[in-house]
Amino acid sequence: VQAQMPTVRLTGHDASPEVRERARAIGFCDDVTDTAGAAVVDADLVIFCVPVGAMAAAAAEIADDLPADAIVSDVGSSKESVLTALRGALPDATIIPAHPVAGTENSGPDAGFATLFQGRWCIVTPPEGADPTATERVAEFWRRLGADVETMDPRHHDRVLAVTSHLPHLIAYTIVGTASDMEEVTQSEVIKFSAGGFRDFTRIAASDPTMWRDVFLNNKDAVLEMLQRFSEDLTALQRAIRWGDGDTLFDLFTRTRAIRRSIIEQGQDDAAPDFGRAH
């Protein structure tokens, strides 16, 4: 924010004293306050950047200090439950949730960098009947950070992200867990020979446990639906392998290779696989 919007005064608060101390040390914000309430006094825009399961508690903490004309937003990875949580804690506030689809497996104040949102999507999910001016102000905030903004209904957002981001993380957590639980393959063999596909999965599976626990608990219905479809497709592949049906395998792998190539053509690729990218 400081790099792209130098006139904006940025005040931060975090529940953890260690995080506040680190944020102060690296100049993460102009000010870091010791209480949540002090951070929102005189604010035009309040953005909650906590795990989605902590949104309700974080919002309740600022309820008494939130200026009446402030816009409330967030960056949570799921949107329907976050909207409900924010509305419950701040019933009179103007709430415009958003999700910058950009990040890494790292967290904490040191994981941020000025170009993080450049050329990435930010999905703004205004509730039905939301004030269009407030929606536009949130959209403009993200555009100034370099993001491309798309507006989406919160429910649709949760279905799209369930398949493009949440399910891939679940698969990564599973495969890394499966490999580490095997009796006949040692831990050191897994590490030593992880040059194959496994290594890419370990990056995703190193993502923050609290954040991802909350995503799965809060986007339960969409994730379970996508997981059901995924297991059916996996069963079809299992069958193709068992029956030596090479055509099925070859056809799928040809189709998926074309998807990867079209992602690269849209200029949104880097060396590391990134399941969270929207385009």
Ligand X SMILES: O=C(O)C(=O)Cc1ccc(O)cc1
16 binds, among ligand X, ligand NAI, none (CB under 5 to 8 A by kind): ligand NAI
- Smallest gap, in angstroms, from Cβ of residue 187 to ligand NAI? 27
Choose, by CB under 6 A, the member of 66, 71, 77, 89 that binds ligand NAI: 77
Please identify, using beta-carbon distances, which residue of 166 and 179 lies nearer to ligand NAI.
166
Choose, by CB under 6 A, the member of 57, 114, 185, 191 that binds ligand NAI: 57
Query: Judged by CB under 6 A, does residue 104 bind ligand NAI?
Result: yes
Query: Judged by CB under 6 A, does residue 276 bind ligand X?
Result: yes
Instruction: Select the residue whose beta carbon is closest to ligand NAI and give its number.
Output: 103
54 binds, among ligand NAI, ligand X, none (CB under 5 to 8 A by kind): ligand NAI
The one-letter code for the residue type at 204 is I
Backbone angles phi, psi at 14, to 5 degrees: -140, 145
Choose, by CB under 6 A, the member of 125, 135, 165, 219 that binds ligand X: 165
93 binds, among ligand X, ligand NAI, none (CB under 5 to 8 A by kind): none
Backbone angles phi, psi at 94, to 5 degrees: -85, 110
Torsion angle of the four alpha carbons 128, 131, 134, 138, in this order, in degrees rounded to the nearest 10: 20
- Smallest gap, in angstroms, from Cβ of residue 24 to ligand X? 26
Q: 82 and 76 in contact (C-beta within 8 Å)?
A: yes
Choose, by CB under 6 A, the member of 105, 150, 200, 208 that binds ligand X: 105
Through-space distance between the first and last CA atoms of the chain, rounded to whole angstroms: 23
Stretch of residues binding ligand NAI (CB under 6 A), selected from 99-107, 185-193, 216-224, 264-272 = 99-107
Binding-site ranges for ligand X (CB under 6 A):
77, 101-105, 165, 204, 274-276
